[in-house]
Structure 1
């Protein structure tokens, strides 16, 4: 059975994806919303030792403890680091991966190395109180809590590739000013192994484009099949071969 594991970005707990998980369950799929170590209702676990490896292990442990064998990993923002790491650790448990306006790291990358100067400034100034947790921006949901700084600066170590997964999707939020994620969207435009989607929304995809994201996720699993050499079986594509037109969010 297809199971979605939904991993939120910085400072957010599993509650961020719960409305989406509810809809996925309504369509007959299992869905887990992850709250990573040191965040949200696990804020009491926040110490200087909670890093990227910790968060990757959170997701691996969930798959192993729940016996999940056919996983769609979905990560928003900095959770792209976690998706990539978890998929590398247990590739045999992964059906597909979905990066939602997220970092797409390679071996040796960190969120720190991949992001913008403005975001780096937030990491450092936001953690200035204790050197451990990055305080959330004031405009974020009141449920947000400090995010482990170590998870942003630790480099990801990878041992394999993503080539064995049935499907890979990248969802780009086209209206996020000074986005650090546009580079990944552009890098993938000519890669036929990826399905790309551009949404006319800001970085808060769940707040602004939940219905569109749901459609993308359902489309990915409802058209489940093995690799095909017949392009007609892959559905409508844009001129580059893998880019979906920008979706106008209503």
Structure 2
């Protein structure tokens, strides 16, 4: 069976993978769900100094200390921009990188660089006005943005969201342009509702010949459709997985 490292996006934590982790584990897979510094159950470590490099180290340290190999690295949303630096430092430990409704960033780009300009401006303004200039406060507005509509799910997710450090959005990623060339790459798009900010990355994946898949749900796929998300990851990890599809 496969080894998965499931990485959450902004304002989340390992908690969001609970049902996906359990389903994959029940199928016999080895599953790790790290919480990035300053998020979720590690929110006490949230400081202005937490940035992209902090989170890259979180993941590369996990790979090394646990001596993980043949890893299917699943990156949701914000964490997609960590792919290049992690792959470069992973010393051949990755079997694939799965971009789950994720952002992509080329060397020298930050998360805000790859966001639509009006979204980047709103985040900067909010951090300045409401986040002491260094954090983006978590709020129910993000549940609306991510298409989380189920009332019970909103009640469970909302209180668990964590303020997100602005440095994670402004710090550029640093890696060689060819760091991901030898790694299998998969992009999973969500479609109901879609998030327009992610459209360019799905298009890029298609043009580049990556494997692509769709999930009919909102942005937080692991929360909205955990069984379907886990089952798709299981299929992707199987040796007989087919080639790209729309």
The alignment's TM-score, normalised by the length of structure 1, stands at 0.84
Question: What is the alpha-carbon distance in structure 2 between the residues aligned to residue 122 and residue 206 of structure 1?
Answer: 26
1:211 matched to which residue of 2? Answer: 227
Asked if 1:33 is matched to 2:49, the reply is no
User: Unpaired segments of 5 or more residues in structure 1?
Assistant: 225-233, 245-250
Q: Cα deviation per residue 1:8-48 (whole Å; 9 max; x = unaligned)?
A: 11100110112111111111111111211111221121111
- Secondary structure of the residue aligned to 1:180 is helix
Gaps of 5+ in 2: 144-156
* 1:100 match: 100
User: Which of 1 and 2 has higher RCO (CA within 8 Å, sep 6+)?
Assistant: 2
Paired position in structure 2 for 1:162: 180
Q: Deviations over 1:89-123 (max 9, x none)?
A: 21411111100111122111111000123431442
Match of 2:43, SS? helix
Q: Does the alignment pair 1:9 with 2:27? A: no
Deviation at 1:2, TM superposition (A): 3.0
Whole-angstrom CA distance in 2 between matches of 1:178 and 1:72: 24
Matches of 2:46 and 2:20, distance apart in 1: 27
Q: Provide the aligned C-alpha RMSD in A.
A: 1.9
Matches within 5 A, 1:1-250: 2-128=2-128, 129-139=131-141, 140=143, 141=157, 142-159=159-176, 160-165=178-183, 167-176=184-193, 179-192=196-209, 194-223=210-239, 235=242, 242-244=244-246
Helix, strand or coil for the counterpart of 1:98?
Answer: strand
Q: Retained in 2: the 8 A contact 1:110–1:152? A: yes
Indicate how the Cα distance of structure 1 residues 177 and 198 shifts in structure 2: closer, same or farther if over 3 A, else same.
closer
Report how many aligned residue pairs link the two structures.
Answer: 228
Scaled by the length of structure 2, the TM-score of the pair is: 0.86
Deviations 1:106-143 (CA, angstroms, capped at 9, x unpaired): 11111100012343144223323312221113254211
Greater share of helix: 2
